[in-house]
Chain A
Amino acid sequence: MRYDAAIIGAGANGLAAAATLAASGRKVVVLERAQACGGRCATRVFHPGFSASPFCDEVAPIPPDIFRALDLARHGAIFMAASREHPLAAEARARALSDAAHASERGWFQGSAEAAPWPGQEFSERALDEDAATAGALSGRAADPGMAGSALHLLAPGMGGSGVVMGGLATLAKALEAAARKAGAEIRLGLEASDIRHHRGRATGVRLADGSEVEARAVISTLDLRRTFFSLFAWKDLPKSAIERISRYRHAAAAARLLIALDAPPAMARRLHLAGSGDACAAWRSNTIPDAPPVTLDLVSAADPSLAPIGQSVLTATLGCIPHHLFDGAWTHEKREALRAATLARIEALLPGTAAHVIASTLIVPPDIEEALGVSEGDLDGGEIAPDQMFALRGFEEHPGGRTPVAGLFLGGHASPAGPFGTCAAGVVAARAVTADLA
């Protein structure tokens, strides 16, 4: 059976791409390595009776037009207090969508023509002002708010802005899965992609780890650049310029998460930011765990009573400036415990008496994220948010709309031009590019 499109990864982007393509009548199959859909949209029972979304409490805002088109509310994903996305993010996404309509006939990597500036491009030269509002934009990241280009984080909220959904992000995953299935997409779980099949510069399908093959006229990969090209292709099949480009692509994983179960709610506002020490970024750059990384505390059970037994609480701590590799070796048990204790101590200092109510806590560090989600270095952004890796430069500049040097292969994840501009955006953009090219 030959599909119109095979989609690697059943995270939010993959499911949104599948729903969009299937709704327009295409035959679509989604291939997911894990046993469940959703990727980072998950809820984990980290202690009996206590749940939290392990990787982030919220995702980037889901663009309203995509939310409506997928009818997510009716599939159960109703969000509390979604922030309105930054208007330039919406414009940039619209630019990515319009680029998706233009197919590039040039096959392999070639020099690009001058393109019109992207909305928000000027943010590449601006720095964030140091105030509480920026703390949210930098949550879970390692970025110097004084550095030029740090303003780009306003367009790429990453871990927040969608609002809380009852039951944690798994509810969003279920809604996206329902939307994809209702549209007619096929979803196959527990299958890891091992190769992208191609013939004469054109993608023809996906080979799976169990040896089986899926034939498709187009392939959308929601994996990041490195995983898509270096894991799923043989090097000899990639042009040198592409290899160079991909090798230069940087990840900036900096997020760690501490999920804390308490037997009573701490006396705090819903969200609190603890600034990191001045040298936290420098420590991260030198692959050291900072003494005082920036921390965002979120009393998630105050907004969603289903996460903890009544009268008890779940508190999440999102740490930034936590490196993926440590200069002195792997993440040992001692290092994890030290980070956990240090974080709890800082919380106790901020909210005295909290420590006595902690029942349990679970620490998730970048290597855990990498293993769980298949994102290089545990980088949930799919690539550093930096001026040389944003807008058209986040993908293959001369192949707009998430296209790649390989005809029929599309990037539909965070490592694509539309990726940072909202949850599901990259998937929908890739789906539109597929539709335009298959027509």
Chain B
Amino acid sequence: MQPNQPISPLDASNSPDVEALFESSQPRPRMIGLAFPVMILFILVVPFVLRQTREHPVVGLLLLIPLGGFAVMSFMLKNFQRSMQDEVRNVEQLEELIQLRQWPAALSRSMSLLSAPMKSDGARLSTLIAFSSVLTRYHWFESARRVHDEILEARSAVDPSIVHTITVARAMTLLREDRLVDADSAIGELRRDVNRARDAARRAQTSAGKEIDTVAIRAIDSAGLALLELYRDIKTGHFDEAIELFESRMKLMRDQLSTRVADAWALVARAYDAKARPTEAATAFRRATSLAPFAELSRRYPELVGLDRKFDLPRIPN
């Protein structure tokens, strides 16, 4: 129930230069990786120098070199560990800013993090994921997709559920820009993801000698994909299909999307309204707007604009 954050005017020319940020954020080869072998080399030099000191005491002064090098390397290691921890903390704070919908601060923080070489690929990936959600929030969809593509290029290093989430987010930006053919293709890919997971579950049950539990298999599904399909149906005017999809996968979306299930309620309100079912539309609209502010919902889905003039918003008590 937070008030909407003011945002900068929608202007593609204001969008950040993501290509430059990709370049600047690449982790550099770490000299710190040489620390251990160099330290070991220094340690090996010490006995040799000590041996020579018995005959030439002045040589003992050379001990200062390996000992000094040892100290420098230890300091560098410590410093590197501290900077890694700082980076992790900064990325966590960025994620918190997004959760708290502090968008201007999140934009500033993500660009600041990506403007300099990052210490680890993992932190860079997390920052890019956060950055993509900020770009989407500001309606810089092309830039957001470019970031999604950059993340998906490293998909072998990314958790499969993250790959799926990014693909859903990417497809959503395609729908927002009315690129329906591309969006359909992405939806097909996501549907194949779900089918692969179901097949894997079936094989697992078979190999364990169990009877196939079809109910459990069918329960393997993606709320993100359901929401995507719902939005696609709204955009293409297939309101009957949208209503049917909503009613059949409402529980899935509620369980997986938490408060964001408001999106589904808002979209189905649009479908009910289009099908001249005002009572259901009013109920769905009330439910959507009791979970999320209408301004936020209409920002995400322009197709909802005008519904607030037809139906009552829930009264938020003082």
Whether both chains belong to one complex is answered with no
